[in-house]
Copies of this chain bind each other. A is one copy, B any other.
Amino acid sequence: MASISQMKDPLYVGKAIRAQLEHEIPKDLPLEKDFREGSDYTITDHVHDLHKSLCTDTRTLELVTALIDALHTFARKTKPTHAEWIKAVSLLTRAGQQSTPEVNQFVLLSDCLGLSVLLDELEHPKPPGCTEGCEPGPFFIDDVPEIPSGGSLATSETVGEKLFFEGSVKNVEGEVIPGAVVNVWQADGDGFYDVNSEVPSATNDRGKIKTLEDGSFSYRGILPTAYPIPSQGPVGEMLRALGRHSHRSAHLHFHITAPGYDDLTTALYPSHSPFLGTDPVFATKKSLICDLEQDRNADNWKRMGFSDDEVQEIGKTSGRVWLWRYNFVLPSVEAVKEFKERANLA
């Protein structure tokens, strides 16, 4: 093992390192063991030992050790060839280069490998009886106008068939939660959100609604349709190599908050939507899939709050309003904390 003085000796250490060493004298360690594939002491042990000796942050050490284990186990199991390694390096490099502030390819990659949904499940586990969660996706906006329960989220020009959504927010004990804030956002009948539609607007098909005294809320909107995630870049290339498509099932997004309760981010899917079993981001959980009804009675449309003009228009076009009902169940902050602790012990 070299001495500290050797580390700065021009005989042993080149110009570029000596320039750096003015600010930093790295620790050196003895290389005591042989690491050969097949022997007891492998390169994996060597990497771990180096990190154990040098890394002083406990969480960083925990993360890097588990990551090395995961990657080295993967390598030993699949033995990627040099040519496959070059393909992977190329895909990752292009993923960085083709990322934009709007579409980050590594976020997409995490979504399409099921990692994003898994991480959400691990950070926000739902005790039994509670509504399951899923990723908010890229179109969530926290600061949106509040509309009263029963109001409309869509303008009269919004493309698509009319929808009436009726929901409630309760706790696990079945008690109603009045004043819960329900942030809803959704695609229209063309499969576009307000922010990415052909004529972008900031607040169509989205809004905040407060639950009433009985925990219920409702709104008039549009039946959402399926839309694709961006598939031009390396992640789309990966999906095609796997025989997968990029089409998300139709859905409504919800972000629900109430004091004392764990925030719920989730989405609901109509059971008639295509792509439920092949959703590219694995967010179509079975408990979040709803059977919708069709109401063909114009008197009911009026009671839902549609205007006379809208009622006339519905009568002349689809002749129906879609009815969507769901009862959300929130866990308390305490319950989630206890649930996490039990899961960590198990």
Q: Total interface residues on A, using CB and 8 Å?
A: 122
Whether, in the assembled complex, A60 has its beta carbon less than 8 Å from a beta carbon of chain B, the answer is: yes
Contact partners of A123 in chain B: CB under 8 A? 79, 81-82
Q: Which of A2-10, A166-174, A327-335 contacts B (4 or more CB under 8 A)?
A: A2-10
Q: Return A128 CB to nearest CB of chain B, in Å.
A: 9
> A92-129 toward B: CB 8 Å interface, digit per residue (1/0)?
11111111000011110010011111110111011000
Contact partners of A107 in chain B: CB under 8 A? 89
The answer for the CA separation of A190 and B245 in the assembled complex, in Å, is: 53
Among candidates B60, B273, B282, residue contacting A12 with C-beta atoms closer than 8 Å: B273
Whether, in the assembled complex, A213 has its beta carbon less than 8 Å from a beta carbon of chain B, the answer is: no
Among candidates B60, B75, B96, B226, residue contacting A241 with C-beta atoms closer than 8 Å: B60
Contact, CB under 8 Å: A51 / B242: yes
Residue among A54, A114, A241, A244 having the largest count of chain B Cβ atoms under 10 Å:
A114
Whether, in the assembled complex, A199 has its beta carbon less than 8 Å from a beta carbon of chain B, the answer is: no
Whether, in the assembled complex, A71 has its beta carbon less than 8 Å from a beta carbon of chain B, the answer is: yes
Contact, CB under 8 Å: B226 / A17: yes
| Chain A interface (Cβ < 8 Å from any Cβ of B) | 1-2, 6-7, 10-17, 20, 24, 26-38, 43-44, 46-47, 50-51, 54-57, 60, 62-64, 66-82, 84-85, 88-89, 92-99, 104-107, 110, 113-119, 121-123, 125-126, 132, 161, 187-192, 223, 225-228, 241-247, 250, 272-278, 282, 284-287, 289, 343
What are 12 A-B contacts with C-beta separation under 8 Å? A7-B274, A11-B161, A20-B228, A26-B278, A32-B286, A47-B114, A55-B241, A66-B78, A69-B74, A75-B119, A76-B122, A92-B95
